[in-house]
Structures are given as structure tokens and as C-alpha cells.
Amino acid sequence: MSNVEKEAGPRGEESPVSPSPPDVKKKREYKEFGHDEEKPTHANVDMSMIELKAEDLYDKEKVDLETIVVEDVFKLLQCDENGLSTDEAQRRLDIFGPNKLEQEEQNAILQFLSFMWNPLSWVMEGAALVAIALSNGGGLPPDWEDFVGIILLLIINSTIGFYEERNAGNAVKALMDSLAPKAKVKRNGQWQEIESANLVPGDMISFKIGDIVPADCRLTESINVSIDQAALTGESLPQSKKEGDQCFSGSTCKQGEAEGVVISTGANTFFGRAASLVGQDDDTTGHLQKILAQIGSFCLVSIGIFVVAEILVLYAGFRYEYRRGLNNILVLLIGGIPIAMPTVLSVTLAVGAQQLAKHKAIVTRITAIEELAGVTILCSDKTGTLTTNKLTIDKETIRTYGPFSADDVILLAAYASRTENQDAIDTSVVGALGDTSRARAGIKLLDFKPFNPVDKRTEITYREESSGKLKRVTKGMTGIIIELCTRNKTDELENRLESDVEEFASRGLRALAVAYEELDGDDPEAEGNGFELIGLLAIFDPPREDTKQTIDDALALGVKVKMVTGDQLAIAKETGRRLGLGDHMYPAKVLKDGPAPGGKHMNLDEMILDADGFAGVFPEHKYEIVKRLQGLGHLCAMTGDGANDAPALSRANVGIAVEGATDAARGAADIVLTEPGLSTIVHAIRGSRIIFQRMRNYSIYACAVTIRIVVCFAILAFAFRYDFPPFMVLIIALLNDGTIMTLSVDRVLPSMTPDSWDLAEIFTYAIAYGLYLTASTVALVAIILQTSFFHDKFGVVSPTSSNDPQLHMIVYLQVAIISQALIFVTRSHGFFFMERPSFALMGAFCVAQLVSSIIAAYANWGFTNIQAISGGWIGIVWVWNIIWFIPLDWIKFAMKATIIKRMRERHSRAVAAAAAETGLQITRTQSRAASIHESMYSNRVSFIRRAARKVGFGTKISVKPEELQRFSSIQAQRTGATLARNPSRTAA
């Protein structure tokens, strides 16, 4: 070992083993922030044995087209720098397919029909079938009135769902459209411009400043190339590229020009992998649809029990005629299902979407509003989302080493920057002045040397107008600049500089050194009196102004925020510290390797839950993080702005594209923000929770009405052989749902914790309310039929039989009034009069009651066997309902204090036991658990897809699971395998 090799310690001190001569000094290596460079490797196969099996030759364990030397790339792809011939290119195009992303087309007719395949629709369809096909009997025609009403409601619901889904953004199409439409390629030894879709592996391509890289490639020539790949990888800084480096399809050339060999196209590119992840595990059965399915199943079971009971009692016991018994069954089918529930909830969500639009949040999938209310974890991209994606000089961290102040250092650094055609660093330096005109004010430019990859610095020579002196300033990489500083370079200064650079690097800040010298005479090319180091600037991507407040607000709402970024760990930690998010973050490799043995985390899930964020992640990593959190029962929101975020945006329960996002991100997202910053997300969360409360209130009401109708009319039929007209049940449903639609603008308060659908609680409330209202109707009918109370006290004429048309009208009015009044109890947490309803709800209620009373007073509809009643009976029904309405609040309080309280305590114990057993904070919601209800609803997906395959509608593009892995292994394997099976005719 030479003296030079062993003379310097880790920080430049002399080695105690062998002192170095005074005239020999080792050049320091400043550990500046940046990527660790990976040296190219060789393929682990004998390249001359090309006849080996392709599967062995292109196994990633032996060869990786991303990292092997370029010479081996040419050999593996059987091409050279002269490019491919036209015939060979066409042959490879047939083998590999076009350089574009495929998309799945769905047949519109089947898509529309799919919305009629769920438990809610099944009951509606069953009722329609009974009304039109099975009602023939007793000399009576089919029940056309009920049939038409049910079919119209079915079509309305399906149309709304179809319209929403058909107009949702297509993420894959947006990704495809982002590819460069044209590419410069060498074919037959000549450069020509072709459609980028026609590129194939082995093509030689060329691009320059402003161009989009058309395919993944390895550079064979590079002249001062800088690539912006923030939208793909999340890296906030443009990356300098040299010969042998890889460039990603879809990234933008910000500086220089280059040539390269294409190593992957289409779905096999880094960009294509992101597209293949979008919708890969597409949860076709949406979150709200699962809730609707379970509510539908509850109604279905309730109806089924009493339909069977009526069949046994009415036919076997009472010996009813076919048509009479069928009409009673039809009452249960029509009245038991909340027919307009999908419509009511859709209107509620649509109105909510309009309200969110006022806060500059465009909702592209309205059911995402419901899921946003239950979000427990917000995963956020950093670059362009939490931060501005604009490099900035951190003035508070500027280090000075000479007689100049921090402001002077910035001014001199701005002198040494371009004022036009700026790169990102020059833009940040000049921008730090505040007034950019100062970058050339008071000086006369004599000579300027822009940045280049060899010198790695910029330099300006200028005349100071006030003094007439010639001066020179340079800025650039620390190691380069300090070597130029002959005037003040000392061991003490170098030690201090090295310490500052290491501190910056540990915080993810890029260091930019600035040096200054003066010139004697008037020759701008003359040597100066020697550079002196005057300052060190820290460059970083700053957080948005409102991000910290947004995170604090989200935490206050019970939503935990995690940073998931493609940038480096040091940058992620620094950003986390500045935002108060925390710096407990991990590199992406832990997602593959798992937690270190002996650490505080027992498994990967525990680590993901505990972490404040992850850095250096690829699209599939973000996707995996979201998927694992969902597997633990959490509802996840994901924010992002780039194509690299699209897979996770698509997978998340709620994908949020921030302002300025790429088309790919907007297409994959459920909510698109149209103004800078994340504060809109907090408005959206609060707004979604208001909407959730409205939907929950309606769900309790709808289920209660189901119990009330089914149980009530079954008991009346059993006890009094009472036959209620089916058409009047449809009228009740229409009036009720018309009123309830105004819940979409009702006044409610958002909860301060994430909402979740506790269906057991909803069903419990519904059963209690339903049975109580059933008692109110049965008691009224019993008094009318078995006593003369109302005749004796009020002088009204009482119906004489159980199927008197006037009794039908009395029951209709009583059921219609108190059923609608129930909403005032279900919408409030305390006494109903303590929470003021909206004017719309109150007005709709009054109108509906007026209509019901007018029908009762004047309708004599023979086709449905009802007859108008007197004003006395209308008054009796109103008073009767008011008396029975008042105790409903006390029933609610009693339920909360007994059954509901015990249910919540049992649920809390179960969650605590699960957490103690697994060591994980698992948040299970009723709606996320796998259940028979969910699988029933999912059947519509498999059913429709099977039908599509059988009749040959549309085309289906599938993505194989292995394509979700890192590109290199798949691309290398496929390239080798296909070329081996089809030897190149142009290969040497």
C-alpha cells in the first residue's frame, strides 16, 4: 500500500500508522446527497453459447437488461448500433406487439344489465314477475299498475348506476395517451420518424431536450442529458444520465440529447407496469354496493320468512283462493324492499358531489364519497403532493465561510445562474432573490459557462458597474468547487465544509457550493486572484404552505397520514420532520425483505401500520402498501399526482389526484382536486361524513319501514284475514321515498372519527322501530273492528268488515303518515325537536302528508279497492299517529342504553382480543368482512363476464400476475425466449 493510499483517515486527519509527506495530500470525497451509482455487470452466461435454452439464458439470476453492460444488451437483443431492418422490426412487432397500452372494452348493454343483478333488484324483479305473470286468476287481469311502477323504478336505478360507471375516467386510456406519439428511430441504417407504437426491443432511438422518452432504453450516447422522471418515480430532482444508464418510457428530457437501444416496449416498460397495476385487483363490487347488498339481504330474509308464513297460513290454513293469497304476498314483496334505496342514496351522493365541487374537489366516482367518510389511513405521495415539486433554497440553512452574508451568497450564486432557459437548480437560485431582475442588475455580463457533466459547475465573469472591477463567481458540486478555492482552503475549512455537506446529505438536502474571485485588469479571460469559498446552499423541495395544517386537521379527524414516496429516504425523513408527520420511515426494500430479525416489529404488517412512511418506492410498492392496509380492515385514501401513483390511486378505497396531476393520475383517481394544496381533502372528509350520516339515517329508516310493512300486514292477514291493496303499498313507497330524497340536503353534524357501517346496530334499531309501528297499526285496526270506541267518542261511522274499502283507506293514511314521521327520529341523536331539519325535508314532509290526506279524502279508486273517508276519520288518524310518535325517542334512548351499548362493548372486546393476539391494531368494519352477502352481490360480476364470453361481446385484455413484478426479469425472459424461438435474420 502506498503512502498516498493510507495517509488520510475518514475525515482527512493524518494516519497514525504512516504520516504522509507534506506535499502529498489525498483528495477528499464529499459524501453529497444523491443516488448510489450501480456499476454495470455482465450476464452470468457464456455469451458465445447463444444456443442455450432461452429460459436459462434470460433468467434474471443470470442476466438483467437494466444493469448489464450495453455490449451484452446488444448481444442478448441480437441488434447493433445501426438499428434494425424494416423487415426485422416488423417481425419483432408481430412477436412483442405494439408499443402501447391495451385497454379492456366493456359491452354497454351487459354493463347496464349488470346493475339489475343484486339482492335489491332480485326482490324488485320477483315482485314484477308476480304482478305480471303469476297474478292471472279468479277472472282478474294481470296487475299492470304494480308491474309498470316496479319496472320504471328498476330502469331508473340501473340508468343512474350505468351513467356513473360509464362516465368514470379510464386510467389505462389516460396512461396510454401519455406516451409520446412520435419517435426518432434508426431503421436500415437511416434515422426516421415513426409512430412510437411501432417501436420494438432492439430499436435504436434518439431524443433531445423537450422530448418524451418513447420506450425504456439503455443510453449508448449521452450529451449533457438530464431526465425529469418525477411523474414516474416520484424523485423531485431531474436525474443526470450518462452512457449505459436506463431511461424510462414517459419521462421527459429536460436537457441535452441522447441515443439509446430499446430494451422494452408497451406493457413491459416501467410505465406499462404502472398501467397493468391499475385495476389489477379491481374491486368491481364497490364498498357501498356491498352495504346495499347486505341491507338487501336483510330485507330479503325478512320478506322470505313472512312470505313462507303467509303461504302456509293463507293457503293451507285459511284455504284462500289463488289470486287472493297472491295479492297478500305481493303486498309483502312490494312493501318489504326499499325499492328506491339505490336512487335515494345516488341522489344523496350526487348532491354531496356538487357540494364538494364548491370546495374545488371533483368527484369522478360518487360512491367514493361514502368510502371517504370511513377512511382511517391517508397514504400520500410526497413530490408534488405534500411538496411543491419546485426546488427551493432553504435560506435558514445557508452556511457562509467568508466575509459575505447569506443574502450576499444567494445574490452571487444568482449571478452564476442562467436567467433564461434555466434548469431546475438555476431557477431555484434566481427565485430565492425574490426579485429575479436582481440576478443581472448592476453588473455587465462578460462571459458565462453553463453547467456540463464534466466540469459540474457554472461560472460567470462580470464587471461590477458601481466599481468597474472584474469579478468571477462559480457554483456547483462541493468537491469540484473546493478544489478551485486556493485562497482560503485550509484543513479547518475543509473539515467544516465536509461536516456541513454530510449534515445536508443526512437531511436529504442537496449541497451547492459557491466561490468568488476578483480579476486584475480588463481581460475577462485572465486568471483571477484565486477563488475563495464563500458559502454552501441547501436545495430542497419544500412542503406546500397548507400541508402541515392539513395533516394536523386529518389527525384531529382520526385519520392517520403516511408518506409513500419514490424519493430517497433522507429526503422523506426531512420532509416528515418539517411537516410534523414524523421521521419513522423505511426504505422500500423492507417491503420485500420484511423487518429485521430482533427488531421491534414482529411482521411486515405491523411495520407498515407503525411507520410514518416509506421511501424509494416503485408503483408496485405503493400498491402493495395500500393492499396490505386494506387487508387489515382499514379503509385507505391515497393522494398523488404522477403516473407512478396511478396503481395505488386505483387500488385505494379513495384515490385523490391533486391539482396539476397527470392524466394517468386523474384517470385512476376517484376525486380530483382543482386547486393547489391538500386543504380541500379535509373539507372533503368533513363533507363525506355529513353525507354518510344522511345515508345512515336513511338506511335505519328504510329497514324499519321494511319490518313495519312486512310484519304489520302479515299479522293483519293472520289475525283479521285482512287483504290490503298492493297498489296502495306502492303509493306509500313512492311518497315516502320522494320525501326521503330531501335527506340529501338535510342538516347533520359530521362525526370526529371515521365512520363505519355497523349493520348489526342499524338492523337492531330498525327492528325496534318497525315492531313498534306495527303495534300502532294493529292496535288501530283491532279497535276499529272489535269495538265502537271511535263511533261512540267522535261520531264517525266505523267500517263493518275487515276488507271494507274505507278501512283500507284508514290503514293507508295511518301507515303513510307515521312511516314518514319516523325519519325525524332516525335523523337525530337526541330528541327529534332538538336537531332542526332542513327546510327541504320539512317542506317535503308537509307536502307528502297533504297529498296523503287529499287521497284519503277524495280518492275512490275501484281498481285498487279503496274508498274516501270523512274528515273525522282523517283527524282521528292524525291524532292517533301523534300519540304513538312521541314515545319513539324514548325507544331510541332505551335501545342505546341497553342492546346497542352491549353490542358496542362486545365489539370493542373482540377488537382488543384480536389486537392482543396478533399484535396489530386491526380495525375491522362490518362492511369489509367477507360474507355471504358480498359473494351474492359479486355473482353479478362473474355472471356477466361468463355471459360476455359465451356471446362474444367485446374484447378482454388480461394482465398476467408476473407482470406485476419488477420489469427486468419478465422483459429479459420474454425477449430472450421469443427471439430464441424466432432467430433474427439480421443478427451477425
Which residue in the block uniquely carries the three cell numbers 454552501?
536
593 has catalytic annotation? no
Q: Are 120 and 337 in contact (CB under 8 A)?
A: yes
DSSP state of 317: I
Q: Are 244 and 69 in contact (CB under 8 A)?
A: yes
**Cell numbers 370493542 label which residue?**
908
555's enclosing H/E stretch is helix 547-556
Give 561's strand partners.
Answer: 378
- CB atoms under 10 Å from CB of 945, counted, come to 15
Nearest 5°: CA angle at 696, between 692 and 700? 175
In single-letter form, the type of residue at position 941 comes to: V
On the 0-12 / 13-18 / 19+ scale of CB atoms within 10 A, 352 is buried
Cα 663 from Cα 674, distance rounded (Å): 13
CA distance 26 to 951: 77
Coil vs helix vs strand at 873: helix
Separation CA 545–CA 679 (nearest Å): 10
Q: What is the DSSP letter of 204?
A: E
Q: What angle do CA 151, 707, 869 make, to 5 degrees?
A: 75
Q: Provide the 10 A C-beta neighbour count for residue 589.
A: 12
Dist. CA 200–CA 629, nearest whole Å = 38
The count of other CB atoms within 10 Å of the CB of residue 154 is 20
Q: What is the rounded CA–CA span in Å between residue 701 and residue 706?
A: 9
**What is Dmax (Cα atoms) for the chain?**
125
Contact 11, 29 (CB under 8 A): no
Contact between 798 and 784 under an 8 Å Cβ cutoff? The reply is yes
First-last CA distance in the chain? 46
Instruction: Give yes or no for a contact between 494 and 482, defined as CB atoms under 8 angstroms apart.
Output: yes
Question: What residues are paired with 614 via a beta bridge?
Answer: 564, 586
How far apart CA 498 and CA 494 sit, in angstroms, is 6
- The answer to whether the beta carbons of residues 566 and 234 sit under 8 Å apart is yes
Centre a 10 Å sphere on the Cβ of residue 707 and count the other Cβ atoms it contains. Answer: 24
Residue type, 193: E
- Take residue 661 and report the three cell numbers written for it: 396531476
Query: Which residue is listed with cell 412512511?
Result: 613
- Among 64, 381, 426, 500, the one annotated catalytic: 381
Contact between residue 110 and residue 284 where contact means Cβ atoms under 8 Å apart: no
HSE on the CB side for 14, CA within 13 Å?
9
Q: Are 673 and 418 in contact (CB under 8 A)?
A: no
- Type of residue found at 534: I
**Residues 613, 564: contact at Cβ < 8 Å?**
yes
| Closest by Cα among 748, 681, 738 to 368 | 681
Cell readout for 201 is 426491443
Distance CA 118, CA 300 (A): 11
Q: DSSP letter at 445?
A: E
Dihedral sign of CA atoms 632, 633, 639, 645 in order: positive
Return all residues near 496 (Cβ < 8 A) that are at least 6 apart: 401
Give the residue numbers annotated as catalytic, written as ranges: 381
